[in-house]
Each structure stands twice: as C-alpha cells, then as structure tokens.
Amino acid sequence: MGIFMDLIKCRYSCRKYDSRPVEREKIQACIEAARLAPSACNSQPWYFAAVCDWELVRKIGATTQQYEGINRFADQPPVFITVWEDVAQLMPQISGDLDSQHYAPGDVGMAVSYLTLAAADMGLGTCIMGIFDEAVIRDLLHVPQEKKLRYVVAVGYPGAGSRIPEKGRKPLEEICKIVG
Ligand SMILES: Cc1cc2nc3c(=O)[nH]c(=O)nc-3n(C[C@H](O)[C@H](O)[C@H](O)COP(=O)(O)O)c2cc1C
C-alpha cells in the first residue's frame, strides 16, 4: 500500500493536545486541502473560520461540553476550525429537481476529511466534533445566518502519550460487496 493509505491510518481523533501553538501556514494548508475537495457541480458549499485567539478558542471549546463527560479534552486544543455549510448553487437542470442543499452535507463532509488528512500529514492532531452551540459560535465569529455550522474541528499538536488507537471498524465483508 502507498503513502496515502499510511496517512489514512495515522489520522485519528486526537483527544489530548499540547499547548504549543500551531503555525498559521499549517492552518492555511489544512483549509487549502479542504478547498480542493470535490463537490456537486463544483458548488463548494463551505466556509471555514479558523480560531486561534485563546479566549475565543476556550469559549468555543466550552460549547462542545454541554453533555456530561463528553468532550472534556475541548479545553486543550490551541485551534478550532469551524466548518460551515453554505448555500449551494447547483446547475439549473439539477436544482429544478433537487433541493439546492441535497449534496451539500456530503460535500462539506468530504472537505473535512481532506482537512483532517492534510493536518495528519503535517503532524497535527485533529478531532471532528459534532456537538457545539451553533448560535453562540455564530455570534462569537459573526457568521451570517445563511451558513449552517456542521463541524467544529479541534486542531493542535498531539499531547504527550497520545497515540493512534486500534481502528475499531466493521469488517470489510459487512460493509461492501464486489459484483462481477
Ligand atoms: C460528524 C462527527 C462528529 C463527531 N463528534 C465527536 C465529538 O463530539 N467528540 C468526540 O470526541 N469525537 C467526535 N467524533 C469522532 C468520532 O468519534 C471518531 O471519528 C470515530 O470514533 C472513529 O475514530 P477515529 O476518528 O479515531 O478513527 C465525531 C466524528 C464525526 C465524523
């Protein structure tokens, strides 16, 4: 297997972060990778707001901890990249039949997977988080209403002792078949 498979295997949800700041170029490179992801009709229905300001980072982290015992680590990452779904412009032939946002959640998911793989490639840890307070984060970052917050991604150098866990995944036979 090639280096891409190795990269996929070394990306994991990192839940222990070092306080070392992340270089701005690395944050930009993560977003650049996401920008290159495919999307329906090349609609690119995404927006990324990276947050490095310590006070804002802590406020955003706190909104991910609304359930007891979940996301305790969210007080550690030095950066959060918030990932928003934007209004998609599809080709008119298609948008006549489908809701304009039909493909958008999948598109944003692909962009996030590019982002996290690029981060792993640069030695950064990430954790995609689906629990957050959208209204609070929207206010803090002044993001307009038409964008929907889909993910908050913790980004930072893995803390001491953080390592790639066993990949707990369904067996291949259960999730696929090859026909022909
Ligand atoms: C949409 C989404 C939401 C997630 N939300 C959280 C979360 O709030 N907190 C957390 O610790 N992990 C969260 N995760 C990480 C998953 O638990 C993790 O990806 C999964 O267990 C597989 O582990 P791995 O990423 O280490 O391979 C989320 C992942 C995704 C894709």
Q: pLDDT at position 2, please?
A: 87
Catalogue the E-assigned strands of the chain: 46-51, 79-85, 125-129, 148-156
For ligand 1, whether the C-beta of 13 sits within 6 Å is: yes
Tell me, using a 6 A CB cutoff, whether residue 66 lines ligand 1.
no
The DSSP letter of residue 22 is P
Q: Which pTM was predicted?
A: 0.97
Residue closest via CA to ligand 1's atom 30 equals 128
128 lines ligand 1 (CB under 6 A): yes
CATH of the domain at 20: 3.40.109.10
* C-beta 131 within 6 A of ligand 1: yes
Question: pLDDT band for position 14 (50/70/90)?
Answer: very high
Residue 171 in contact with ligand 1 by CB distance below 6 A: no
Q: Is the dihedral of CA 26, 141, 63, 106 positive or negative?
A: negative
Count structural domains, the chain: 1
The share of the chain scoring above pLDDT 70, in percent, equals: 100
Give every CB contact of residue 167 below 8 A, 6+ residues apart in sequence. Answer: 9, 12
By residue range, what is the domain housing residue 72?
Answer: 3-175
Q: Is 89 within the bounds of a domain?
A: yes
Per-residue model confidence (pLDDT) at position 124: 98
Q: What is the pLDDT of residue 93?
A: 86
Alpha-carbon distance 83 to 108, whole Å? 8
Span 4-33, average pLDDT: 97
Q: Is residue 84 part of a domain?
A: yes
**Average pLDDT for 115-144:** 98
Q: Flag whether 180 is in a domain.
A: no
Mean pLDDT of all residues in 112-119: 98
pLDDT, the chain, mean: 97
Examine residue 143 and state whether it is found in any structural domain, yes or no: yes
User: Quick check: is 44 in a domain?
Assistant: yes
What is the rounded average pLDDT of the residues 24-30?
98
* pLDDT surpassing 80 at residue 1: no
Q: What is the pLDDT of residue 97?
A: 84
Give 68-107 pLDDT, tens digit per residue.
999 999 999 999 999 999 999 999 888 888 899 999 999 9
168 lines ligand 1 (CB under 6 A): no
Q: What is the pLDDT of residue 121?
A: 98
Mean pLDDT computed over 116-122? 98
The closest residue, in CA terms, to atom 2 on ligand 1 is 130
